Amino acid sequence: MINSRRFLILSAAAVALCGCSSITNLTPSRYARSENGYYRVEASWRSRQEAVRLDSFQPEVVVGLEKYPMQPVPLVKERWEAYIPAPQSCNEVVYHYQFDYELNGFRHHKPDSKKSAEYTLKIVEKK
């Protein structure tokens, strides 16, 4: 009886600590070609993990091997934005989001990371 009770308590604690995190892409799938070659991407990040150290957040947009830091969207909670470049000859950009952060630990902070699916931004000519 005690072992099964202990197991249930430990299982509930593990679920509470693990929580659930999600990244939602808020960027349109198409943009008209910009004159300056930069395109705004935006994502929201939500987590039920209470151990996340919010001051350790380092969200980025990854395009190929390049990483572009994201900034918080003013006046909107849990949303992040960045501008990614695309040459004028480019018709699409494949990218994903990566959110690096730390979790509170008993003695040390534990690094953790969440990566989104890949997305394709199509760049179309202005009409």
Question: Tens digit of pLDDT for each residue in 35-49?
Answer: 999 999 999 988 777
Q: Quick check: is 8 in a domain?
A: no
**pLDDT tens digits for 52-102?**
777 778 999 999 999 999 999 998 888 999 999 999 999 999 999 999 888
Reading phi first (left if > 0) and then psi (alpha if -120 to 50, else beta), residue 83 is in beta
Question: What is the residue type of 81?
Answer: E
Specify whether the CB–CB gap between 47 and 19 falls below 8 A. yes
CATH number at 61 reads 2.60.40.10
Flag whether 50 is in a domain.
Answer: yes
Residue 10 in any domain: the answer is: no
Computed from CA positions of residues 82, 83, 85, 88, in that sequence, does the dihedral angle turn out positive or negative? positive
- pTM for this model (two decimals): 0.79
Model pLDDT, residue 13: 46
Q: What is the pLDDT of residue 93?
A: 97
Quick check: is 6 in a domain?
no
> Where in the sequence is the domain holding 107, given as residue range(s)?
21-124
Q: Is residue 80 part of a domain?
A: yes
**Separation of alpha carbons 67 and 101, rounded Å:** 16
Confidence of residue 17 (pLDDT cuts 50, 70, 90): very low
Q: How many domains does the chain have?
A: 1
Give pLDDT, residue 6. Answer: 54
Residue 28 lies in a domain: yes
Classify residue 25: in a domain, yes or no: yes
Calculate the alpha carbon distances from 74 to 7, 53, 60, 78, 101 in Å.
44, 20, 17, 10, 20
Q: What are phi and psi of 41, to 5 degrees?
A: -120, 150
**Is 12 part of any domain?**
no
Strands (E), the chain: 21-25, 30-32, 38-47, 52-63, 66-69, 71-72, 79-85, 92-103, 110-115, 119-124
